[in-house]
Structure 1
């Protein structure tokens, strides 16, 4: 699982006073090589001074006049995925970490990029499963429904044995590229493991069949390396109506849903269309 903000935040961080001169802060940067600083006025953080601010500001100005960064806050118990999303929405390089009303540290964009990078599959460039779980939780917290489409490459073990793992890796990269091209912008994709891929949508299960079928067709029509006839199977699991309240252990519910979609994709290997709608009900029923 991906780590929490408090696990990678900086507890002993350097602040600068809003009324210090820029030249004074520049000397600190020359010595300690910091990229940005929380700015303090009357004991409270009022903004962020970045390295770019220091480069463009006149050395005789004060920090308060030169700072361009706004304060963005994140709770220390949020996941690194949440921090990454905040950084994507803002140009800031730093977030202020809080616990209740207390400031407990800062977290740098560079640290978040390093941590989230550990959850990127090196072969395909897709995120790993923790990304899907985080996005599922977020959609459920917003009161929406979720569905999972689970894709599984047919006879992949045989392909690896006959043609070698290098060819197998090439096929996985091609399939991931097809998935990226096929899936809508409001869906979330990951390489779940091995020859398995998972796609999260905010749609009801029945509404996912057309999308799943379009992916299967694209794979069938694609010209793979060595003219290998590659097919994939898809299993769908998800809800059929939206509800505003959520009960039970949501993490357990989400992983159960993914497992049901995986089982459906295994069953789909025996079906002519290689597609199975494995479960349709409310997400709350997953815990039963």
Structure 2
């Protein structure tokens, strides 16, 4: 999982609060940057941007045009966390700060370029690598996340009979539905592979399962044909931190939820649990020694 520190701009060009607007503008032009951290005696006061300077008299001091205190983020945060923070607060840059020390700056443009490598171009959703990274971080914090895999029913047949254009449109509509559902219930959605999507909820499954009937009632029409979903559930069972390696456990949860969604296809209720997969096989499929059967 790519972290903020790998994308941020560093070292930084800074300016003092008593420098003139003209001096700040010249610094931006000289170094081809759109913002400058404002520092006095080692203390970060804020960030002045080219937009702040626009229209200000060149003889005014930078302190006069400083806006609200800037948002900051840890260098170890993921790019998805940075993206969510920027979208939520409507900002175009984040200061990268660790233990009170300014390390760099992350701009929306640099973030968008980096995220382009990890997002599905068809649906606009983050891909499997981001899913794994999100699960690992939750597990490291002691959260046992509920993972819900959503598998489209008869998608291969739809592609064959109606063509890939119809199939692509169906996937985009499903992505929109799942994104809306995830927002309503404080979760995240990912495009895993093919016709599989994954939802992650950072809480016990008893708080998630009651809402899945709403998800199962959703469907789309692809050239007049109704397309529904099958759901596989894993995780969300423990109140305490899971033992073992978070990366291995994240892989287990993904695998079990995916297999459970396949199992659900043969059921009228269209839902199956990861522990049913374990009971059927007697073990976590392709498990490593660190894996635990309580999923």
Which TM-score applies when normalising by structure 2? 0.82
**250-259 vs 69-78, which moves further:** 69-78
Output one character per residue of 1:129-182: Cα deviation in whole Å (capped at 9) or x when no partner. 334334434544554431111011122222222221111112212222332344
Does the CA contact (< 8 Å) of 1:17 and 1:41 recur in 2? yes
- Residue in 1 that maps onto 2:212: 212
CA distance, structure 2, for counterparts of residue 185 and residue 5 of structure 1: 27
- Residue in 1 that maps onto 2:46: 47
Q: Give the Å deviation of 1:41.
A: 1.4
Unaligned runs of 5+ in 2: 279-288
Does the CA contact (< 8 Å) of 1:69 and 1:92 recur in 2? no
Output one character per residue of 1:200-251: Cα deviation in whole Å (capped at 9) or x when no partner. 12343355444333322222xx4x13322423211111232422x4432222
CA distance, structure 2, for counterparts of residue 101 and residue 176 of structure 1: 39
Output one character per residue of 1:92-118: Cα deviation in whole Å (capped at 9) or x when no partner. 533333455654332222211222233
- Residue in 2 that maps onto 1:111: 110
RMSD: 2.8
- Residue in 1 that maps onto 2:198: 198
- Residue in 2 that maps onto 1:268: 264
- Residue in 2 that maps onto 1:226: 223
Give the 3 Å change call, closer, same or farther, for CA 78–226 of structure 1 in structure 2.
closer
Does the CA contact (< 8 Å) of 2:234 and 2:273 recur in 1? yes
Are 1:242 and 2:246 an aligned pair?
no
After TM superposition, the runs of 4+ consecutive aligned structure 1 residues lying more than 6 A away are: none
CA distance, structure 2, for counterparts of residue 85 and residue 209 of structure 1: 25
Does the CA contact (< 8 Å) of 1:96 and 1:106 recur in 2? yes
CA distance, structure 2, for counterparts of residue 127 and residue 265 of structure 1: 20
CA distance, structure 2, for counterparts of residue 72 and residue 101 of structure 1: 13
- Residue in 2 that maps onto 1:254: 250
CA distance, structure 2, for counterparts of residue 160 and residue 78 of structure 1: 39
Give the 3 Å change call, closer, same or farther, for CA 68–147 of structure 1 in structure 2.
same
Give the 3 Å change call, closer, same or farther, for CA 262–46 of structure 1 in structure 2.
same
Unaligned runs of 5+ in 1: none
CA distance, structure 2, for counterparts of residue 202 and residue 45 of structure 1: 34
CA distance, structure 1, for counterparts of residue 250 and residue 263 of structure 2: 20
Give the 3 Å change call, closer, same or farther, for CA 91–169 of structure 1 in structure 2.
closer
SS in 1 for 2:218: helix
SS in 2 for 1:192: strand
Give the 3 Å change call, closer, same or farther, for CA 259–69 of structure 1 in structure 2.
same
SS in 1 for 2:9: coil
Does the CA contact (< 8 Å) of 1:80 and 1:116 recur in 2? yes
Give the 3 Å change call, closer, same or farther, for CA 95–230 of structure 1 in structure 2.
closer
The aligned length equals: 280
- Residue in 2 that maps onto 1:70: 69
Which TM-score applies when normalising by structure 1? 0.84
- Residue in 2 that maps onto 1:34: 33
CA distance, structure 1, for counterparts of residue 113 and residue 105 of structure 2: 16
CA distance, structure 2, for counterparts of residue 77 and residue 214 of structure 1: 36
Give the 3 Å change call, closer, same or farther, for CA 286–235 of structure 1 in structure 2.
farther
